[in-house]
Structure 1
Amino acid sequence: MNLTKLATACIKAYSAQLAKAYEVENTSEQFAVTGPMETRLKAALLDSSEFLRMITTLDVDQIKGQVVSVGNTGIATGRKAGARFTSGQGVDGNQYELRETDSCAYVDWGTLAVWANAGTEQQFMKLMSENATQRFALDILRVGFNGTSAAANTDPDANPLGQDVNIGWHQLVTTNAPDQIMTDDIYFNPDATGELADGEYKTLDAIVTELRLTLIPEQLRNDPRLVVLVGSDLVAAAQIKLMNQADKPTERVAASQMDKSIGGLRAYTPPFFPGKRLVVTLLSNLHCYTQKGTRSRKSENVEDRKRWEDKYWRYEGYAVEDYEAYAAVDESAMNIGPAPAP
């Protein structure tokens, strides 16, 4: 399919608008994103994903370095004879490493033609801009939750969740603080009756409570900032049980909202979060860093591939500020159903 006359006019206008915004002559040649536009690009990415706005996203100077502290999890109040009381800020020793990261969001000519015919030129511009920024923003979360390695040549077919793009938060804790990750088999069995077997739980509340009481340190255990990140498979299993038992409209509403709070903690199911993983942590404990001055963009019509491509290159990486403030059941250890007979 060839690019329609209207679509051609729309992408020319989009390219001109992009060039003006970034103060460059031609967006089809890679250009650096610096100064105020670096801030605006970051803001656009954060606006594209509600969950991304909740975690810690920072620009750093170095490719490797010590994790940037954004908060102290210990007590900040006390006294000291003959002097003013002070307490430390953050956790020493945790390191981060950024890696070359290259993103490309494209729109084929057929879709461009549909978008051009669907509304005004401004609506076309909005669709083009949101397609790129949302794809880039969601990939930050996709890799953050699923990344286990950083391959020289990534394979999106073998690793559709970006497992080989970078080392994400869960893998960082697994490698550097393995005691914070439960890897013994756990059985979430909402249909259980009678006495439960070892490692068997009837509710997600019970699993979350055990995680918090056994793996989260005392000074953080009742911190109001603690939340639960829960996989969609676990939420579905719990909701199905509650829905089947509900015989009143109010009970069904309660069942559909059960994932909002688990074990007394606010619960979230983030985009691309593994379906059977369970994590207790602070959202601010999850960090994503980008090296200042490394962002670059390129936006062009690639005739050989019959599509428009938006490209975003930078040095980026992940970090966990306090490993002790991250407690999880690994998805490989989580089973939905009854524990096997002894």
Structure 2
Amino acid sequence: MNLSEQGRQALDLHFVNTARAFGVQPGNPSAGQHYAATPSVAQTIYNKVVEDGNQFLRLINAAVMVGEIKGEKVGLELTGRVASRTDTNGAGERTPKHLSNTDPKGYELFPTQFDVALKYSKIDSWAKFPDFAERYIRLVRQAMGNDMLTVGWHGTSAAGTTNLGSNPNLEDLNIGWLQILRDFNSGSQHYAASASELVLGSGDAKNLDVLVHEAKMMLPVYHRNRDDLVALVSGDLLSAQEETYYEVNGNTPTEKAMLSGRITRAYGGLPTITPPFFPSGIVKVTPLSNLSIYIQDSSIRRIQKDKPEKDEVQDFNSANQGYVVEDEEMAAFIEGIELPPAA
């Protein structure tokens, strides 16, 4: 099908505005226009992803720009004690301490592709809106942000060619935050419960307060009383715990504050949140500032192409991305927590 005149005008303006955003002259869309972002444009692009994406992206370091595909972590988090005393009268010598983690493993980024297409019929339907292009790119940013968070929780590997059919949660796209902790220091910051070992409401998993406390106790002692620790709790566990409070307390006020039907006050003494796309059966404790997504600022590429053979516009986007726990000792999680069997 051919685009309507209004649709063609809206699309042409979209191509022109894209070129301007990258600081280049508009080219021939039918041939496919190639863009490479400068570091400042790259930061702007991902700031927009954070701004238009899920609110949780704004709570973490979701757009940390780095120059190299591998390197030393760039986050600045206090990692331990700095106060001490050394007797320098003899052979003693004062040794300065590093404020932030000096991890020799550092970070590694992997190519990530965000390729989308828009049918001519959809362009014609949307062309009546003066902000057609912004509406479209906002949807693209939201999709990118959703997938970035999904990989952060579910990613376990970085395959050369991914397979969405066998990895519906993008498990093979990159190595996410949870997998980093599984691999860190022989799993010292991670506990995987065996089948039926931890059932919410019984045994060692009496309630979420107990489970959050146990996850917190997995942190080194000098991190346990930080004032920025947060409990990340799976939605299934939080919903089950809510039902228990309703059954026991009814309309009687409890120590768990209620907001729009959700328990928002602390479990285990920590503020509690269920992140989007968070896996089931998990309790994690960490400062939110400890979670980062790194992007190589010189790696962002885009090809925008008018494809009449397919009656669509194609948009190929790519960047080198990676997931970082700035200080692994500052995070711990328990997985494999089960719900009690239905009555």
Partners of 1:150 and 1:164 within 8 A in 2: yes
- 1:135-167 C-alpha deviation (Å, 9 max, x unpaired): 112221111111111111111122121111111
Kept in 1, the 8 Å contact 2:116–2:315? The answer is: yes
Equivalent residue number for residue 233 of structure 2 = 230
Q: CA deviation at 1:30?
A: 1.9
Look up the match of 1:173: 181
Give CA deviations for 1:260-285 in whole Å, capped at 9, x if unaligned. Answer: 53212122222211122221112122
Query: Is 2:228 aligned against 1:220?
Result: no
Partner of 2:111: 100
Number of the residue aligned with 1:306:
311
The answer as to 2:78 corresponding to 1:72 is yes
Shift of 1:298: 2.2
Letter in 1 for 2:110: R
Provide, for residues 212-231 of structure 1, a one-character-per-residue CA deviation record: whole Å limited to 9, x for no partner.
12x11111101011111111
Aligned pair 1:61/2:67, yes or no? yes
RMSD value, Cα: 2.6
Unaligned runs of 5+ residues in structure 2 are none
State the 1:36 CA deviation. 2.9
Could you tell me how far apart the structure 1 residues matched to 2:130 and 2:22 are? 20
Match of 1:183 in 2: 192
Structure 1 residues 114, 204: closer, same or farther in 2, change over 3 A? farther
CA shift at 1:80, angstroms?
4.9
Q: What are the superposed Cα offsets for residues 22-69 of structure 1, whole Å, 9 maximum, x if unpaired? A: 222236322101043222112112212322222223222222222224
Inter-partner Cα distance in structure 1 for 2:239 and 2:126: 35
Q: TM-score, normalised by structure 1?
A: 0.85
Residue identity over aligned pairs, in percent, reads: 28
User: 2:138 corresponds to which letter in structure 1?
Assistant: E
Contact 1:70 1:284 in 2 (8 A): no
Distance (Å, rounded) in 2 between the aligned partners of 1:17 and 1:59? 24
Q: Does 1:87 align with 2:97?
A: yes
> Displacement, 1:187?
2.8
Contact 2:181 2:328 in 1 (8 A): yes
Note if contact 1:260-1:268 (Cα within 8 Å) is conserved in structure 2. Answer: no
Distance 1:299 1:282, change over 3 A: same
Distance 1:106 1:205 in 2: 46
Moved more, 306-315 or 220-229: 306-315
Tell me: CA distance 1:260–1:311, structure 2 relative to 1, closer, same or farther (3 Å): farther
Whether the 8 Å CA contact 2:154–2:169 is kept in 1: the answer is yes
Pairing of 1:282-297 with structure 2 (within 5 A): 282-297=287-302
How far did residue 74 of structure 1 move? 1.4
CA distance in 2, matches of 1:108, 1:337: 47
Residue deviations 1:248-307 (CA, integer Å, cap 9, x gap): 396797282314532121222222111222211121222211122111122333333333
Hey, what does 1:326 align to over in structure 2? 331
Pairs aligned (count): 326
Q: Measured at CA, do residues 249 and 47 of structure 1 come closer, stay the same or move farther in structure 2, by a change above 3 Å?
A: farther
Q: Indicate the SS of the match to 2:125.
A: helix
CA distance in structure 2 between the partners assigned to 1:44 and 1:154 by the alignment: 26
Question: 203-212 or 287-296, which moves further after superposition?
Answer: 287-296
Q: Hey, what's the Cα distance between the residues in 1 that align with 2:3 and 2:166?
A: 32
Letter paired with 1:189: L
Gaps of 5+ in 1: 191-195
Specify the alignment match of 2:37 in structure 1: 33
TM-score for both structures, normalised by structure 2: 0.85
Q: 1:240 is matched with which residue?
A: 243
Distance 2:120 2:249 in 1: 49
